[in-house]
Structure 1
């Protein structure tokens, strides 16, 4: 987050905000969300309402908390040291997301490369003689309904082209901002958000196709579980990234950021490029291999 009006020399040595109510309200909203979710999965009638109330509280806290940070930035309270803090914080956040997806890719690798061949070896043929150790398995016990696996054609390939193109448009937008061309910055940033929205539309269609035409569901054994887990969480991250970039677009149109100070833009761009890289891994591992 950066100011359009102040320089690093005019900002405090290191800005320390005063007492804030947002951490406490955010924690209370998270607690309310989990209480509602716990009641919901146990079929308690008030669970969904409490869950939605907690989620609404989280969104409000994020809106006002980030609004305070943006206001502080625009008032020139953030020095270069604060900028470094933001950069390190965003770097560690993205690292935690890398570990998040690494765990899911690891689960897919274990199921596909270790446990499935083990269940199909000679010893287990005596227990499950009809089990075929090929990916897309319905399991050794025959309790999973038959389904059709996903292929890379054509929606996943189109989505790959969309995300790669969005990475290019975002990079062009960033270079335009650094060159002081605000109109071009906004145009290519809007194109990035639009490409992300189209990606999500195609993914929704793909899920509908999987459920209705391929009988591929979350309950379709380890294949269905890992497929929807990886692609679903990635889609959630694309949605968050598009929201982040939409906020940045709004700020660009409001006149925020300068060619020298625009970490708010850069942080959202880092996140979007991370989402692009994760998709490339998904495209190869989930759809091709």
Structure 2
């Protein structure tokens, strides 16, 4: 490549091992869903995926610390992270789309509106409303829904605050203030863990006092799909931040070379933006 270099990575066993681990996990998961057995296979696959990720990332960190990556590799990492986050945007867009479809089209049709109004013949007394506390048929709906101005608002403030503290930590790293980076990154990690704990409390309340379960009609299903997958992403993001924090303590990042830190910031800010959408369209409106 004219005017620069092109890094060719060494032969790696991790891609094929990662594919085998994911395949094993999917076979086990499919067996559990269809036949009710296969938990061991699914668990072994999950352990394999986590092991491959940890060892593969370890090698990437070593190669970066050895100075093997140049500007071309930096662009490659940035493009890869960008496409990964885009795929996550599409993932959540599908679930938000399902929520909007149900609220905008399906419920009015069941209530007798438009050309699809024949569906109202099945449940003549059905009245479209959201949240749907009294689903048609034999499905048990939730008793009541969460007030958005209690635990959901607290979690919103926590995540928005964590984006601010992470930005302060990032700016500190760019200016070479390692103590600032370390301290504010630690605060961000604590906020992320607090969010997870509060969501756990909310789920307990949902199941035991509000009647909101995966079987509680379309409201329960969409509630847990959206908030549950988001919670999983918060756990992943907190894990990433914990690893980045350890690397900061070991002095792995420099003011002019810290894409690993920056990629973690991108992911965490994405998780925060998704939560704002959830807060507005799942809890408030």
Q: TM-score, normalised by structure 1?
A: 0.92
Match of 2:8 in 1: 16
Separation in 2, partners of 1:220, 1:39: 25
Give 1:141 shift: 2.1
Asked whether 1:128 is paired with 2:123, we answer yes
Match of 2:92 in 1: 101
Match of 1:5 in 2: none
**Secondary structure at 1:13 match in 2:** coil
Figure out how many residues of one structure are paired with residues of the other and give that number.
Answer: 277
**Secondary structure at 1:141 match in 2:** coil
The two structures, once aligned, show a CA RMSD in angstroms of 1.4
Give 1:184 shift: 1.2
Q: TM-score, normalised by structure 2?
A: 0.94
Asked whether 1:63 is paired with 2:54, we answer yes
Give 1:35 shift: 1.7
Match of 1:196 in 2: 192
Q: 4+ runs of 1 displaced by more than 6 Å?
A: none
Asked whether 1:254 is paired with 2:250, we answer yes
Asked whether 1:168 is paired with 2:160, we answer no
Separation in 2, partners of 1:283, 1:145: 21
Contact 2:139 2:216 in 1 (8 A): no
Asked whether 1:35 is paired with 2:31, we answer no
Q: Which runs of 5+ in 2 are unaligned?
A: none
Match of 1:117 in 2: 108
Q: How does 1:246-285 map to 2 (within 5 A)?
A: 246-285=242-281
Give 1:40 shift: 2.1
Contact 2:156 2:276 in 1 (8 A): yes
Match of 2:40 among 49, 53, 56: 49
Q: Which runs of 5+ in 1 are unaligned?
A: 1-11
Separation in 2, partners of 1:103, 1:146: 24
RCO comparison, higher one (Cα < 8 Å, 6+): 1
Asked whether 1:144 is paired with 2:164, we answer no
Separation in 2, partners of 1:140, 1:41: 26
Q: How does 1:205-284 map to 2 (within 5 A)?
A: 205-284=201-280
**Secondary structure at 1:58 match in 2:** helix
